[in-house]
Structure formats: structure tokens, C-alpha cells
Amino acid sequence: MAELILPGVYIETRAEALIVPGPISVGNIGIVGTASNGPVGEVQVLSGYADAREIFGPYDSFESPTLANNPLTLVRALELAYANGASTVYAVRVANTSVAEAAPDPTAMGANATIFDLQAKSPGTAGNSITVKIEDAPPSSRKVTIKSGAVEEFYTVTTGADLVTQISANSALVNATADTNSGNQPALITTAVPFTGGVDGADATQTQYAEGLEKLTNQNAHIIVAAGQSDNIIADELLAHVNNASTDDVRRDRIAVVGSRAMTGTNVSTFLGQISTPAVSSDRIIYVTPGVRVSDAAAGREVRLPGAYAAAAVAGMLSARSPHISLTNKAVAVGGLEVEFNAGQLKQLVQSGVLALEKRRGFRVVKGITTDTGAFQQISTRRIVDFAKFGVRGAAEPFIGLLNNDRVRKASKGSINGFLADMVTDEMLISYELDVTATRDEEIRGIARVTMTVRPTFSIDYIKVVIFLG
């Protein structure tokens, strides 16, 4: 405001009453898993399955994986998530320490082995599809072709150092470093030399999955999946992750979806005994069983996947629905189920806090529940409350740093009230009560107290029909 020296009218505009919360989402997926390509331990934001394939490469055969007993998990899980409605995904590739980048055999590179060194940009078996070829480019240059599938890169260079500079600036496939004789012209390679030695690190451990989950802590992800990892392996790590992320320090309220182990060499009763009790009980954990039957692109036929992959499908279903929409009775986009439980078995699973899938007019969720036995048993209740928390934070945070007086607190209440009223209009809440206050001591300490009571909607899980005969 101008200094009051000259006579006149001085106007100050206060815009607190115009502050409104921004758009809120609780449908972004965070997922960790193993892959044949892409950076390890870095968060990649995906907008579709094509993104997943381009960054992380294809998955291998589930029944005959590249590394025995360790099929790649990330892209396979993403395929199921996107098929069931996922949109925005935060993905992290994890790998064992055995992971390695592919490179051409130095022997096959001839004199070039002392001029420059090439290495796949990302570790994994996808790098084994890369080839390098060097031809004449008259009058006095070399044409270097680096190819992987349909992707080709061409470099016209005079020296090894020139090639290194161009690759470093432009290549999406390889990295290059100068060697002892980098000032020399690259030697001819008339028959393309393949890259070899790429290793996926597909046998990633619980520790490495937990490290991948840690990378997601501060991301805008709300539904968390450890691709291909069953509850008896990863449930504790998932629970620790979602509990930590949902604290007032981190403020990333989220839930995790985990599935059952594979039904291998057991009958249905034995399998039911193994998976009928969730490994952990929490309103932030959803436990899915059984597994699903889907087409395996690497094998060219249908395969049976454990519940650890059905979890990704359920995560996709959740991400595509508003918080108050229950998964109960919703169809799952899969080719079949790993095992078809009867009514008694399904009842046992539901009573134990398991989100079970059944064959009924396709394949459906029996009841959309968490493993909690209390107030947050319905998934929609947990998501509605998380949505309200996100919205209240979004509505209130612009007021931090403003005056702690009655006028500003009323403006803050108006902003929060507008958000909650929209939740009522959208049928997420039945009603709510809201107050924004501060005692004199709280004013001095800079605290504005928001007290609210919200009454979430609940889904219909049962319909009881009474028939009177007259």
C-alpha cells in the first residue's frame, strides 16, 4: 500500500474470500516391479500402456521366464491395471544387484574396441536387441547405425570422439564413452554386431521392493501395488509404506492392494486354508483373491496368474472410479479366474476381510472391502475420508500465513465449506458440520482450528426382500 503522505483515497483489496480449493484426485496408481528395460529406482509417470511398454520394455513368458522362477512383474501388472481403467500411474522399476547393461562383444567390434565403448542406456535384456553397424559415408566419414527393433539411429562421424559427442546428445538407445584411440576414425563393421549381456535383475528381493516403494512416498499416488508380490511376501512392507505416507507429516493418504500367492500343486481346500486370512489387517490394505487367467503376449496363449496380479486389476478398477463408488458387484476385465470358489468358500473369504472375485455374469468383485473389521471396512468409506482430507488441506493451505482473525477464519471456513458442499452434491457425503475457530491463545500461537463432522455415504451390499402373501 502506498505511504500515506499525499491527500487522496487509498484502496486495499483483500482476496481471501475468493480462495477456492483446486481439483482433487485419489485415483493415481503407484506401482513397483521388475522389467526388461528402463531406469532402476526412478519414478516414471505413465499415461497409458503404450508408455509402459516404451519405457520398461516387454515382459517375458510367465511360465518360462528369462530367469527361472522369476518372471518380470511390472509391465504385466500394468497391462492388467490399464485394462481395468487405470489412467495416471507412477511406476518404479526395481532390480536385484545382478542387473546389467547390454554391450557389443569387444572381439566383434575389432579396432573400434579401442576407439569408443557402447552400452545400452538402461540395464536389462531389452538391450540385447540392440545392434551396431558402421559403413562408409563418402567422401571421408563413417555412417554408424544403431538399431533396436523398429527404432534406428544414424550418426555421420569422422572420429570416435565425434560419435561419442553425438550419441551423448541424441541417443535414446545407448551411452557412449571415448576410449584410448578416440581420435581415430571408426573401423568398418559390415555385418551388424548384436549387444549381449543385458540382465534384468528379475529376482528383486523384498528389500528392493521396499526401496522402490520409498521412491513413491512423496509422489501424488493414492493406490499402491507391488507388482506380482503376494501378501505373505510384501504385506508388511506395504502396510508400513501406506501408514507412513498417510501421516500428517507426509500427507499422502493412500491405500495398498495386495493379492494372494499362486495355487500351485494344491487343491482348492488347501489353497483356501493358505489364503483365507489376510497377512495384515488394516483399513489401508485391500487383499485380493483368487488369481486370474489372461492372455500372455510373450507366450502367445492364456496363462493363470496368482492373486498378486489380480491386485493390479483391482487397483485399475479403483483408479477409474470416484471415491464413493463401491467395487461391490463390479465386473473385472480378465479372461477367467485362477480358481472358482463356491458360495460357502466366498462367504468364508468375505467374513475374513478378503476382496474375493467370483464367476457370475462374467467375473465380478463379491464385496469391495479392506481387511479392516471396523468403521472403514468398505473401501469407499476409506476413500471418501481420504478425499475429504485432501480437499480440506487444499482449501485451507492458501490461508496459512494470512491473519489469524475472525474475518480470515470466516473466509477459510467458506472455502472449506464450498468443497464439502460439493461432496454432498456429488453424493460422497450425506451431510457435514464445520467450524473454524481459534482461542486467544491459539491466535497467538498461529493456530486456526478446523472441526468438522462428515457423514459418508455407504454402498448397498445386501438387499433384503420380505414378501407377504395375501
CA nearest to 378, candidates 430, 326, 431: 326
Provide φ and ψ at 159, rounded to 5°: -135, 170
Q: Is the pLDDT of residue 1 over 60?
A: no
The terminus-to-terminus CA distance of the chain in angstroms comes to 81
pLDDT bracket for residue 2 (50, 70, 90): low
Cα separation of 237 and 192, whole Å? 46
User: What pLDDT does 31 receive?
Assistant: 98
Please return the burial class of 301, using the count of CB atoms within 10 Å of its CB with bins 0-12, 13-18 and 19+.
Answer: exposed
pLDDT bracket for residue 20 (50, 70, 90): confident
pLDDT bracket for residue 18 (50, 70, 90): confident
User: Which residue ranges form the domains of the chain, and what is each CATH number?
Assistant: 29-96+202-368 (3.40.50.11780), 103-196 (2.60.40.4290)
User: What pLDDT does 389 receive?
Assistant: 94
Mean pLDDT of the region 172-183: 97
CA 432 to centroid of chain Cα atoms:
32
Question: Which range is least confidently modeled, 73-82, 288-297, 301-310, 461-470?
Answer: 461-470
Q: What is the rounded average pLDDT for all residues in the chain?
A: 95
Cα separation of 107 and 129, whole Å? 18
User: What pLDDT does 15 receive?
Assistant: 80
Q: Interior CA angle at 171 toward 168 and 175, to 5°?
A: 55
Task: Please state the length of the chain.
Answer: 470
For 204-242, write each residue's pLDDT tens digit.
999 999 999 999 999 999 999 999 999 999 999 999 999
CA nearest to 432, candidates 459, 456, 396: 456
User: What pLDDT does 79 receive?
Assistant: 98
For 427-455, write each residue's pLDDT tens digit.
999 999 999 999 999 999 999 999 999 99
The model's pTM is 0.93
User: What pLDDT does 17 receive?
Assistant: 76
pLDDT bracket for residue 13 (50, 70, 90): confident
Q: Tell me the angle at which helices 49-56 and 74-83 cross, rounded to the nearest 10 degrees.
A: 170
Residue located via cell numbers 500500500:
1
Mean pLDDT of the region 350-368: 97
Please return the burial class of 97, using the count of CB atoms within 10 Å of its CB with bins 0-12, 13-18 and 19+.
Answer: exposed
